[in-house]
Structure 1
Amino acid sequence: MSGQFDYMVDQAVNVLPQIKSGNIRALGVSTAKRLPQLPDVPTIDEAGLRGYEVTIWNGFFAPKGTSKDVITKLNQALVAALSDDKVKVRLTELAVDLPEGKEATPEALGAQLKTSIDKWVPAVRAAGVKPE
């Protein structure tokens, strides 16, 4: 490998060090808003591809049938861990957009999952991809 490439799409966490060092140039970010870590890099929408937004998100899931009490306790523990100042600073450095308040609930995660399914299933079907 020569260490050269013409174009790539990757998660911010994987390329922030290379962008900040000047080894690669960011043309845009796929999020709805500019990243605080890269304030001079426009969103793809701002760059001219209107409506383009693709984000990476993470969620914690439990097996089907897990009681609401257990889900509530797990969520409270997760929210507490993510509220730790050191954790918040580190995740922010990695360009992780942490949910807060009503966004940090099991219901919000369910809504996010549904939104993602509704967005991507048609594209997957149109591409002829079969679940395996």
Structure 2
Amino acid sequence: MKSSKQKKAGLLQPLPVPEQPWQVVSLDFITGLPPTTSGHDAILVVIYKFSKMVHFIPTHTTARTEETAQLFVRHIIPQHGIPTTLISDRDPKFTSKFWKELMSLLRTKLAMSSAYHPQTDGQTERLNHCGQP
């Protein structure tokens, strides 16, 4: 039997609990929904980590990065201000140059979950699974 040369996986490192409301926000999408009468077939889910307050913003699976950023700016920032940190998975809408530039302009840190480890943002992932058939 050969010994494995691959490093053993380290322990999960939970994200720190925010000290104030509206500091840390996680983003994800619920997709694969039947279209509404207005044609929306996806939901942008925004969760505030401190209070666990959730916003569900109707969108389209085909929405471009710019449209997703506009939804965030239109629905979230006027109500709660600009968060210091955004946590998201590695969806192309969150890894694009445009999104990174927007976060830079807003002086917001963009924290990505580890590839193939959705448990990094378990709170959002659990909420998304509750709403899916």
Task: Give TM class, smaller chain.
Answer: under 0.3
Give the number of the structure with larger relative contact order, counting CA–CA contacts within 8 Å between residues 6 or more apart.
2
Q: TM-score, structure 2 length as denominator?
A: 0.26
Q: Which has the larger radius of gyration?
A: 1
Q: TM-score, structure 1 length as denominator?
A: 0.26
Structure having the higher helix fraction is 1
